[in-house]
Structure 1
Amino acid sequence: MSAFSSGELLAADPDWWRDAVVYQVYPRAFTDSTGSGVGDLEGVRSRIPYLRDLGVDALWLSPFYPSRLVDGGYDVDDYRDVDPSLGSLATFDAIVHDAHEAGLRVIVDIVPNHSSNRHVWFRQALASVSRSPARARYIFRRGRGKGALLPPNDWQSLFGGSAWQAAGDGDWYLHLFAVEQPDFNWSNREVRDEFLTTLRFWADRGVDGFRVDVAHGLAKDLSPRASVAAVSMGPVGAVDPEAPVRLSDGTDPLFDRDEVHEIFAEWRQLFDSYTPPRSAVAEAWVAPHRRALYARPSELGQAFEFALLEAPWSAEAFEAAILENLALSASVGSSSTWVLSNHDVVRHSSRYGLPEGADLPAWLMSHGVSPAEDLALGLRRARAATMLTLALPGSSYLYQGEELGLPEVADLPVEVLQDPIWERTGGLRKGRDGSRVPLPWTSEGPSFGFGSAAAVLPQPPWFGALSVEAQAGVDGSTLTMYREALALRRSMQRDATVEVRVAAEALYITRSDGWMSVTNFGLVPTAVPTGRVRLVSSGVSAVIEPSTTVWLEVGGVGEHQLG
């Protein structure tokens, strides 16, 4: 892995994304520089030294665009500006400059499936007439029944309720997410050109890559034969509440249609017009064999692999997910991606502390009481799983706060909830706010160093003990483990091959560059393989304890001992 020391070297490696460690920042929950209780871009900028010292390769910014925040910023008013409450384009430019100087790339979120209902195009559409060019940019259809008072069909929003909203004149518009998030019509050439302009806008400002939200949702079949299809909100207990039940052959009317790849092939032409080419990664909740299509070099280049995020704590389950993903990535010439947490799911430190098969939405609705969470077990498994994924070939995507071992804040009072899932389901599902509580930087203070005032989403009293201040430089802390593992990871070779095998409830990853990772999924300790030098461990014992990962190297090399 290449270690970049200055902005000059950022262009030296066009394949940097193939094995990058990318740190996701949810700006409004990262650092508040103004005392507003909400994080902002200047706050992000102030933490670039922290990210550099942590040892990541890139910074991924979740949406920072002008927004009403109906859906955490994923309801975008203007794709080529910064929300005034977060900063300005000048602040954004300063982040890119400082990040590059620190040797970090910058990835931004693009939200192409839908806009906000405050977007200038949608305001024009509502002010226009049925079948007008302004409405053709979105998906408007005539209602059913007398007076067109019924929605065009029975499609359901992923956030609950009908996916159609009346426009007031007999037309209805489609919103697969919140009412305030009307879906674009990607069969319209004007929409395609507008997003190409947006991608150029950010690439010209120095952005190195893009994370594509709901990449599988852009192409839709709106013919009469598809009008009776319904969207399920996903299986009870699904890890991600946005993940619908899907057809997996490209014929689903709303998701993962074959036509979507025409869009991304055009995006790739734009990305490759830059030197170095801009990277992209798809968020596509689709069947594994379909997800690989988005990761082709002729399209986005990478797609998030969610199998480990969804896998039970089992050596066999992890082995199967790893082998399948490595094979699929190799089949299309991409590199694998590894994800354990993000802003849409319950943090993995909590998931691993719950009984297998726990209904996560129901657990959140119980305020984290039922079933009881084993915090210590969850943290041990989370640390072990993180080290396991960091030992694999490909990219690792980290979510802010996981380096502190933060669990889900499951007991947020309902009066502070911001996720539209809560309102749209009539209070039946709590949503994703528990993973978006602002980070603790110091052990004390009104918001544990997040800012000078209390955070908008309240932090629990126990956050201080998990803060950066409380863990920095402390042997055995989760933050120290991350820093040590990320520093060592830079010595791994990008083109290394791996052997993955399970023996006696331990998962062994043997790399061709002389490294080995051993994860004990069992209930009894296992010995360190002979002839290997122990480098770093998610535990503290000389043996490999249950729920522990150890990194080893061939004995006698001696180049990577920690100081």
Structure 2
Amino acid sequence: MSAPWWQSAVLYQVYPRSFQDSNGDGIGDLAGITARLDDLVALGIDALWISPVFPSPMADFGYDVADYCDIDPRFGTLAEMDRLVAEAHARGLKVLLDYVPNHSSDQHPWFTASRSSRDDPKRDWYIWRDAAADGGPPNNWISDFGGPAWEWDAATGQYYAHAFLAQQPDLNWRSPELRAAMLDVLRFWFDRGIDGFRIDVLWHMIKHADFLDNPVNPDWHGGMAEMDRVHQTHSTDQPEVHDIAREMRAIADAAGERLLVGEIYLPVERLMDYYGGVHLPLNFQLIGAEWHAPSLLALIEGYERALPEGGWPNWVLGNHDRPRAATRFGAEQARVAAMLLLTLRGTPTIYYGDEIGMADVAIPAERVQDPRELREPGKGLGRDPVRTPMAWDDSANGGFTSGEPWLPLHADWPTRNMGVEREEAGSMWRLYRDLLALRRATPALALGEWAAVASVGEVLAYERRLGDARVLVVLNLGTAYAPFALPEWAAALSVVLSSAEGDADPRLLGPNEGLILA
């Protein structure tokens, strides 16, 4: 097996504020993550991706970076990051960081200089434009968080662009000096032993050079996010972004076997253009997919067909921005979804807490933190419900903190926690552990080819094959018993893992049941 480590790996996303607090301030930190590395090893993951921990005013909880080469005191120190990396490597785990290249904080020294004068050498490190003829914003671009994507700066008499909050001014990647400085950030962290990066909103990084108006969306209505008033034709996914991605890739390749993962919310055919830059353009299709076997089969086959030669697939079931699997599918189907995620061809990413079946948490109005929810309340855009603290045991606050958690835990944390589920036969944690162990022990699951197997109704079936080794996965996405015609080649196989308890018969699947035969 000569494949790069990340092809057979399982990634695990840590949202650091909510993972483990070591000092009682109610916010998770690097020392907390280090303390939980053995728990991640017990689960069976290969690499952890840590959401932003850089110095930040926290207008958008770390996605407004004030220094790309340091650690925010809330999370720890550079020395603690070095220790985390060393401890992870000692356990055979890789560590990925978030890289936020589209925008910085308005408190970053670069922006302080840029807005100080039109003549400052760093003026063009950000995107500045004159007002329109009527004195308003330069064009009709809308921030992803609602409102114009432009903020007026009275001191210098121009607008600056911000795809998100006004406190997150967009960097100008057309500036050679800015480009060089941001690429040096990658080198800085690679030199400290970081194994890769997840690149935030990669497709946003370059804007149309002429700053044309975006086309108006004729289907927009008031129940939708304000950003959807227009199609982001000219403010995202510009051709020049691929040159930047290739530069990043060259730096990663020069540093050894490092991994670049790109956050890109685009249709599949456009997503494929990002291969050759990042190793893994994140495939979010399962997050918004219709949970029906024929729809999922078409989705998987379409994605496999679209992949460029040498392009390695990847799958994501949840993240820090989107509703959790247990909320979308219910507790029983979340088990089937876990089986799907970890048996498809490609590199999967697990979102922390999904392994114990955490669902979205209703956040009382007085405890809402997310700026997106505060700016457009009532539209279901808030991300707090999926960022709540991890529950480790049945002690106070689920063992997350000795203080007051920054967000409330799920109500059933006394029973839905890692400690309880590690000891409980048939728990979600044990299902994830067993799936990861089977995947690690079965090269056909980790690296084999994928092919659909004939099925009917709400049964989704497929084969994973490597050489002469064949594995059959059969998933019942429905709530009724479902027949399945076992293919002749699989007659000699036996059930090695089931998502449900009790006897397993692949010829008649129980409701919400998934089986793996090998």
TM-score calculated relative to the size of structure 2: 0.92
Distance 2:353 2:228 in 1: 23
What is the rounded CA distance, in whole Å, between the counterparts of 1:178 and 1:241 in structure 2?
A: 13
Call closer, same or farther: CA 1:230–1:71 in 2, change over 3 Å.
Answer: farther
Aligned equivalents of 1:96 and 1:438: distance in 2? 22
Aligned to 1:31: 20
Task: State how far apart, in whole Å, the 2-side matches of 1:464 and 1:545 are.
Answer: 29
Q: Which residue of 1 aligns with 2:129?
A: 141
1:253 aligns with 2:203: no
Tell me which residue corresponds to 1:19.
8
Q: Is the 8 A contact 1:155 1:230 kept in 2?
A: no
Please report how far the alpha carbon of residue 472 of structure 1 lies from its aligned counterpart in structure 2 after TM superposition. Answer: 0.9
Aligned residue for 1:532, secondary structure, equals: coil
1:80 corresponding residue in structure 2 = 69
- Confirm whether residue 541 of structure 1 aligns to residue 502 of structure 2: yes
Indicate the residue corresponding to 1:343 in structure 2: 320
Q: Is residue 14–residue 352 contact of structure 2 (8 Å, CA) maintained in 1? A: yes
Aligned to 2:151: 165
For 1:54 and 1:136, the matched residues in 2 are separated by 47
Give the whole-Å Cα distance in 1 for the aligned partners of 2:44 and 2:438: 10
Pair 1:205-2:182 in alignment: no
Offset at 1:245?
Answer: 6.8
Secondary structure of 2:414's partner? helix
Answer yes or no: is the 8 Å Cα contact 1:113–1:183 preserved in 2.
yes
Residue 271 of structure 1 deviates from its aligned partner by 1.2
Shift of 1:523: 3.9
What amino acid is the match of 2:57?
R
Aligned residue in 2 for 1:379: 331
| CA-to-aligned-CA distance 1:290-333 (integer Å, 9 cap, x gap) | 1112122xx1111111111111110111111111222223x241
Residues 319, 502 of structure 1: 8 Å contact kept: no
- Conservation of the 8 A alpha-carbon contact between 1:137 and 1:190: yes
Task: Write the letter of the residue equivalent to 1:162.
Answer: P
Query: C-alpha root-mean-square deviation of aligned residues, in Å?
Result: 2.3
- In structure 2, the residue matched to 1:509 is 462
Which one of the candidate residues 331, 334, 353 is aligned to 1:401?
Answer: 353
Deviation of 1:465 after TM superposition, in Å, equals 1.4
Query: Is the Cα–Cα contact under 8 Å of residues 321 and 386 in structure 2 kept in the other structure?
Result: yes
Measured in 2, the distance between the counterparts of 1:309 and 1:428 equals: 18
Q: How does 1:220-299 map to 2 (within 5 A)?
A: 220-223=207-210, 226-227=212-213, 229=215, 246=231, 252-275=233-256, 277-296=257-276, 299=277
| Offset at residue 178 of structure 1 (A) | 0.8
Within the candidate set 89, 92, 101, 1:100 is matched to 89
C-alpha separation in 1, matches of 2:112 and 2:340: 48
**Distance in 1 separating the partners of 2:230 and 2:9:** 31
How far apart are 1:144 and its partner, in Å? Answer: 2.7
Is contact 2:325-2:337 (8 Å) kept?
no
Q: Tell me what 1:531 maps to.
A: 492
Paired residue type of 1:160: G
Gaps of 5+ in 2: none
Aligned AA for 1:269?
A: A
Matching residue of 1:424: 375
TM-score (norm 1): 0.85
Deviations 1:151-208 (A, max 9, x none): 2222111101111111114211111101110001111111110111100011111111
Query: In structure 2, the residue corresponding to 1:458 is in which secondary structure?
Result: coil
Percent of pairs with identical residues: 37
Aligned to 1:434: 385
SS in 2 for 1:197: helix
Encode CA deviations 1:342-384: one digit per residue, 9 max, x unaligned.
Answer: 00001011012xxxxxxxxxxxxxxxxxxxxxxxxx1111110
Q: Count matched residues.
A: 502
For residues 218 and 241 of structure 2, what CA distance do their matches in structure 1 show? 21
Which AA in structure 2 matches 1:400? Answer: Y
Tell me how far apart the structure 2 counterparts of residues 461 and 422 of structure 1 sit (CA, whole Å). Answer: 21
SS in 2 for 1:42: helix
Report Cα offsets for 1:381-402 as digits up to 9, x if no partner.
1110110121112100000000
Give the conservation status (yes or no) of the 8 Å contact 1:24–1:62. Answer: yes
Deviations for 1:43-69, whole angstroms, at most 9, x for unmatched residues?
Answer: 000000000110001010000001111
